[in-house]
Chain A
Amino acid sequence: MKDTLLVVDDMEINRDILENIFSDSYKIIKAENGIEAIEMLKEHKESICAVLLDIFMPELDGFGVLDYMHKNDLNKTVPTVLITGDTSNESKQKGYSMGVSDVIEKPFDSQIVKTRINNIVELYKHKNGLEELVDEQTRKIKHQADKISATNKKLWDTLGAIVEFRNHESGMHIYRVREFTRVLLEAVADNYPEYGLTNELIDAMAFASVMHDVGKISISDTILLKPGRLTDEEFEIMKTHTTKGSEIIDAVCDTDDELYFKFGRQIARSHHERFDGRGYPDGLVGDDIPIAAQIVAIADVYDALVSRRVYKPPFTPSEAFRMITNGECGQFNPKIMDSLKIARPKFEELAERLK
């Protein structure tokens, strides 16, 4: 509770006059010099609502007190008024430059002093209240943003799972792809710093990978669930799940305020591109393919190989590894292939654990 005035003056008469003026509205504490004033500021800083400060004093003068308040950030919450017999402009300017709220010349008119001090105290009360309010609101906004972010993530997971269930799969594929993606990204980050993969980016990319096949929601059951081989015409339709996927994310996430929106779009559209330009839908070549999409492409292929599908039995992890690295599944970035070799034990451990 800020209800105390600190009166600092070496002259008893000045202290008593000020006490007499303010004792009906505030608690008054008094200091005879700058050193005492600093002691009282330390002890009562929570309750002091203003400092009435003389300039010329023994031990330590008023400027010394202002200096202390400035260094300890007290001047932001506690107003200081110089009450001085020194009428020189130099002193006033120095005072104002050190952050005093007002300068009152002695001898003063008590009614005017009373009004001016009360106004300043009220002003600071209001200002301090507003600052607290802003801090409080900022905390609330942060909390809400975290909540929204968590809800967004849940929505993405759900959307990814829905697509997979429609595909008559267990929902585990997207989670395995996410884990493979993370492990592979970490290996690339360790060995190829030129990709600038920070932990934050890795988290966002791995999370965004759940959306890689979201476009399959627009593919008809007769094609999506066809047990046999697709005709050329059907395959052309199947390929559109990439462009449809990025369109769906565009429609759902019309802003870029989450990193994973951007990566989700890249991954959905480009996870069937190949390093030599023979992929689809855009025929991108090399590192024109976003790194997030290059990584998810490998994670996706790897998981498809080690999983049972209606048209094929599961391959063993070492077969899958060989088929990817020898180019049977299309050509991938050699740097990522090196990283995959490094990450191979972790891939095989994951494949076993998430079977």
Chain B
Amino acid sequence: MDRDMIAELADIGVDTETALSRFMGNTNLYTKFLFKFPADDNFAKLKASIDSKDKDGAFMAAHTVKGVAANLGLDPFSKDIEPLVEKFRGVSSYPEDEDIEALYNAAAEKYNEICSIINRYAQQ
């Protein structure tokens, strides 16, 4: 069952092979953290920080969620998050940049796609 989820994620571009080797081939541990991914609130915090123009909150949340996603091999998502992190790195005030919304929306699309697969298996 877990292997089906991993295969399905691999089909949409998740680098499950590298991620599994990161977990030293421990499928249970990999699955445990995949299931935790939708529950992690950092992506929601990122949205809230963008809405309230909180540059520090946005950076911290984007940086954290990028790290988790990269660990899990969620490349399609983390590739979109990465430029967002850079938008907020070391800025002195909230950047007035139209790309931020576009980047966020692209990331959100991938996020939802990944989470819907994981949630389907999590409920089983």
Contacts and interface: CB of A to CB of B under 8 A. Distances in A.
B68 A109 contact: no
B63 A85 contact: yes
Nearest to B89: A88
A1 interface: no
Nearest to A24: B24
A13 B35 CA distance: 12
Contact of B23 (A10, A17, A86): A17
Contact of A21 (B18, B24, B68): B24
Contacts of B55: none
B78 to A, nearest CB: 8
B24 A16 contact: no
A12 B26 CA distance: 16
Contact of A106 (B18, B23, B60, B67): B67
Interface in A85-130: 85-86, 88, 106-111
Given A16-B29, A85-B66, A111 B36 contact: no
Contacts of A20: 23-24, 26, 29
Nearest to B32: A16
A56 interface: yes
B63 A56 contact: yes
Given A85-B63, A85-B66, A86-B63, A13 B21 contact: no
Nearest to A88: B89
B94 interface: no
A219 B115 CA distance: 108
Contacts of A85: 63, 66-67, 70
Interface in B22-55: 22-24, 26, 29, 33, 36
A14 B71 contact: yes
Given A13-B33, A13-B71, A110 B22 contact: yes
B42 to A, nearest CB: 9
Contacts of A56: 60, 63-64
A108 B22 contact: yes
A109 B68 CA distance: 14
Contacts of B72: 13
A141 interface: no
Contacts, number: 50
A14 B67 contact: yes
Interface in A1-59: 10-14, 16-17, 20-21, 56
Interface residues of A, number: 19
Contacts of A111: 21
B105 to A, nearest CB: 23
Interface string A171-198: 0000000000000000000000000000
B89 A17 contact: no
Contacts of B23: 17, 20, 110
Contact of B71 (A21, A88, A107): A107
A110 B17 CA distance: 12
A86 B33 CA distance: 21
A110 B18 CA distance: 9
A111 B20 CA distance: 12
A11 B33 CA distance: 11
B24 A106 contact: no
A110 B71 contact: no
A20 B22 CA distance: 9
Contacts of B71: 13-14, 17, 106-107
A118 to B, nearest CB: 14
A14 B26 CA distance: 14
**Closest 6 pairs (CB-CB, A-B):** A107-B70, A85-B67, A13-B33, A110-B22, A107-B71, A110-B24
Interface of A: 10-14, 16-17, 20-21, 56, 85-86, 88, 106-111
Given A20-B23, A111-B21, 19 more contacts: A11-B67, A11-B68, A12-B36, A13-B36, A13-B68, A13-B71, A13-B72, A14-B67, A14-B71, A16-B33, A17-B22, A17-B29, A20-B24, A85-B67, A85-B70, A106-B67, A107-B71, A108-B22, A109-B21
8 contacts: A10-B64, A17-B29, A20-B23, A20-B26, A56-B63, A85-B67, A86-B63, A107-B67
